[in-house]
Structure 1
Amino acid sequence: MPGGPRLIRFSTVINFQKCLMFAYLGALMWLYDDHTAAATSMAAWIYLALHGSYGLVWYLKDKAFPDPGWQHRLTLPGAVNAILGVLGWYWLFGWLLISGRGGDYPIDDKPWFALCITLVTLGSVVMIAADAQKFFTLRIQGGLITDGMFRFVRHPNYTGEMMIYLGFALMVWHWLPFVVLAWVWGGLFTANMLAKEASMSRYPEWAAYKARTRWVIPRVL
């Protein structure tokens, strides 16, 4: 967005939103404690641990092996738009759950929690492993990365992100998080993946690699 000099890195804006999540969720639990039992329910505590710690994990990842795609600078209006237009929607997830607006889970709470925790945990591992492999491999050699986390899917970092936020949405169990994810996945993620594939298509081995892999889910999508 226009509006003056580019004063702040996009990565700083993302880190701010993600690192604030733990304190934000804790503040919501304190604020709603006298208003609804959902504020201090087992689901709320699990969500605090999952989404709060994920924000800290992202920050550590960014400091250890930063993604070059997030290092460009934004104007102040651009930074505000990134928060209000995209990242801020993720804050609504926790508010819906803690304020008691989430729905009843379709099965017993315990296996449902196990499913959500598993998705977030595995998704974090896939995302971090893929980003680390890309970062350290490209420091040594250029070209396509077709082994390791990239053996079966071309965008495993997005696979991990989708698993993580699907786990969050299932914990909340409200229609709004799924609408947000459909918009982010179908719009932003798809656009980024198409741009990345257009860049990778310049390599001679691209056609063979594309033919034997999928976008984000092995043998499916």
Structure 2
Amino acid sequence: MTEARPVPAYARFFQGFILGKLVYEMPGGPRLMKFATVINFQKALMFPYLLGLMWLYRHHSSAHTTAAWIYVGLHGTYGLVWYLKDKTFPDPGWQQRITIVGAIDSIIGVLGWYWLFGWLLISGHGGTYPINEKPWFAIAITLSTLGMAIMIAADAQKYYTLRVQRGLITDGMFRYVRHPNYTGEMMIYLGFALLVWQWIPFAVLAWVWFGLFTANMMAKEASMSRYPEWAAYKKRTTWVIPFIL
């Protein structure tokens, strides 16, 4: 075991300011809830939220399209999958307690933007697909479904492996990429964005992926660098896409 390398300044800013100052350390009263509770609320509420939108826009043709129903099924199911995952093998990173103000900040800053995806599609603000909708639907469904499987498998492997033995995980879902849970999460939301096919979801994903996700992965890699096998593992793997990125 060697000394971990310093966390890059970019990651320190995002983790220290966005998560640290605006969520974990935000003043405003006692820390009444876990951050996981806020995330679970946003995820598990997706099904009733989307169905509520379909009822609200029931007189609009956009609320009755195949794309709208596919979106409700995919994003609603993902919310339940996430909730079950957290109750079965919770991520220690989300167990910190936060204040009401911190919870509101997390909704405004990141989580609440995901609710916008479904509203854009169901209210009729989605775009026109560049190819026939049937293969387009197949691509979106494949990305999201496969992404859920990758995210669940990676988080489960990490959770149960570290319960038995602490150390660097270099096999299974982590054999070719160092952050397969982020790979899965990115695939899930890319599928959602393809169904909406409008610039706003892609702008949200750019903010989350190149801001928070990148900062979290940088910080994680700084921590993992303390292991002797880290250099060899990093050399033969990529961040999130096997053999590419």
Q: Which has the higher contact order (CA 8 A, sep 6+)?
A: 2
Letter of the 1:68 counterpart: P
**Partners of 1:209 and 1:127 in 2: CA distance:** 20
- Residue equivalent to 1:22: 47
Matched, 1:132 2:132: no
Residues 49-96 of structure 1, C-alpha deviation per residue, up to 9 Å, x if partnerless?
A: 000010000000000000001000111100010111110000000000
- Residue equivalent to 2:231: 207
**Partners of 2:119 and 2:92 in 1: CA distance:** 32
Per-residue deviation, 1:207: 0.4
- Residue equivalent to 2:133: 109
Residues 31-53 of structure 1, C-alpha deviation per residue, up to 9 Å, x if partnerless?
A: 1011x211111000000000001
- Residue equivalent to 2:200: 176
**Partners of 1:79 and 1:210 in 2: CA distance:** 35
Which deviates further from its counterpart, 189-198 or 1-10? 1-10
Q: Summarize the alignment of residues 65-144 of structure 1 with structure 2, pairs less than 5 Å apart.
A: 65-144=89-168
Residues 148-172 of structure 1, C-alpha deviation per residue, up to 9 Å, x if partnerless?
A: 0000000000000000000000000
Structure 1 segments, 4+ long, off by >4 Å, are none
- CA RMSD for the aligned pairs? 0.5
Matched, 1:50 2:74: yes
- Residue equivalent to 1:7: 32
- Residue equivalent to 1:147: 171
Residues 128-179 of structure 1, C-alpha deviation per residue, up to 9 Å, x if partnerless?
A: 0000000000000011000000000000000000000000000000000000
**Partners of 2:199 and 2:239 in 1: CA distance:** 26
TM-score (norm 2): 0.89
Q: How many residues align?
A: 220
Structure 1 residue ranges without an equivalent (≥5): none
Structure 2 residue ranges without an equivalent (≥5): 1-25
Q: Which of 61, 76, 80 lines up with 1:37 in the alignment?
A: 61
Letter of the 1:13 counterpart: V
Letter of the 1:5 counterpart: P
Per-residue deviation, 1:6: 1.1
Letter of the 1:143 counterpart: G
